Amino acid sequence: MPELFGLRREPLENLDMYARDFMKEYDPISRVDRFGLIALLLLNGEKDDLVPLECASSLYEALKPLYEDAPYRLRLEVYPDTGHDHTPEMEAESIGSFEERLLE
């Protein structure tokens, strides 16, 4: 999937200019004001080599002030010893979170 967007699985310092520009334009941390109070569940592998945990953690911390009145609508789940993967646990967490939001 990353190859579709001109990205490769390698450290950020080795990305070409196109990939850097793409990331700057679509990096969610530069657009936190656009999130509103949408329910947001961030799932990240502790050992993710494409989207490092620091990125998800930074986004989560940047969004927390916006969710002060509804903190239950923002969650970060970290999966130990997991890379940039889609695991059954992540899928179950996503479905459970979606179902919870439907009942709000």
**Domain membership of residue 58 as a residue range:** 2-102
Cα–Cα distance for residue pair 53/74, rounded to 1 Å: 16
Cα–Cα distance for residue pair 60/22, rounded to 1 Å: 21
Amino acid at 81: D
Residues contacting residue 87 through CB under 8 Å, at least 6 positions apart: 79
Residues contacting residue 28 through CB under 8 Å, at least 6 positions apart: 35, 59
Structure confidence at residue 1 (pLDDT): 45
Q: Is the dihedral of CA 83, 4, 23, 90 positive or negative?
A: negative
pTM listed for this prediction: 0.73
Structure confidence at residue 12 (pLDDT): 55
Look at the chain and report how many structural domains it folds into. Answer: 1
- Residue 93: which CATH number? 3.40.50.1820
- pLDDT averaged over consecutive 10-residue blocks of the chain (104 residues)? 50 65 78 83 94 92 94 95 95 94 80
Cα–Cα distance for residue pair 35/102, rounded to 1 Å: 18
